[in-house]
């Protein structure tokens, strides 16, 4: 689920419009576009209408949602689909972590993070994490206790 902002001409003026997009992944692995809606700007209140519409159209349950962590979005998803689990998309997690990395180290940091989130399976994930931790020792990077990144002083 995501909202994509486009600039459009409306009565001679250029304004922003948001296209809300829901793509479902079936158990057999096929993707299906569940719907597209147009609104003025991305907001969690608009998403409430989208999710209610999906439920009215026959979507019985959403097991996992992947979002950009829009304020209040997770609560709205759970209000309509209480059993849903929400994950933040990797790109947003890395972007938020980059706030705590000095500029000169960002390129190396994002490359290291890519090796972690591209691990072929969960068994190899800790190995990539250990390599990243070792590379971070003595530099300006270190993992924090909550899994994020903090700068060393």
Which residues is 64 bridged to in the sheet?
85
- Same domain for 98 and 79, yes or no, is no
pTM score: 0.58
- Same domain for 94 and 83, yes or no, is no
- Same domain for 11 and 48, yes or no, is yes
How many structural domains compose the chain?
2
Choosing from 88, 106, 123, the residue where a domain stops is: 88
* pLDDT tens track, the chain, 153 positions: 888 889 999 999 999 998 989 998 888 989 999 999 998 877 778 888 999 999 999 988 888 888 877 778 888 888 999 988 877 767 767 777 778 888 888 888 777 777 777 777 767 665 556 665 655 554 444 444 444 444 433
- Same domain for 66 and 14, yes or no, is yes
- Same domain for 38 and 73, yes or no, is yes
Report the alpha-carbon distance of residue 124 to residue 118 in Å, rounded: 10
Range of the domain at 122: 90-151
Report the alpha-carbon distance of residue 144 to residue 68 in Å, rounded: 22
- Same domain for 26 and 57, yes or no, is yes
């Amino acid at each position: 689920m995501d909202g994509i902002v486009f600039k459009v001409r409306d009565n001679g003026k250029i304004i922003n419009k948001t296209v809300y997009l829901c793509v479902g992944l079936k158990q057999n692995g096929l993707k299906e576009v569940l719907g597209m809606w147009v609104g003025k700007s991305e907001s969690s209140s608009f998403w409430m209408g989208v999710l209610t519409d999906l439920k009215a159209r026959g979507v019985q349950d959403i097991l996992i949602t992947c979002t950009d962590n829009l304020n209040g979005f997770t609560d709205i998803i759970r209000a309509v689909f209480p059993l849903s689990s929400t994950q933040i998309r990797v790109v947003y997690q890395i972007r938020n972590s980059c706030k705590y990395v000095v500029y000169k180290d960002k390129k190396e940091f994002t490359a290291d993070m890519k090796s972690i989130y591209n691990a072929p399976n969960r068994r190899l994930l800790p190995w990539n994490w250990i390599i990243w931790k070792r590379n971070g020792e003595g530099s300006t990077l270190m993992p924090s206790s909550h899994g994020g990144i903090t700068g060393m002083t």
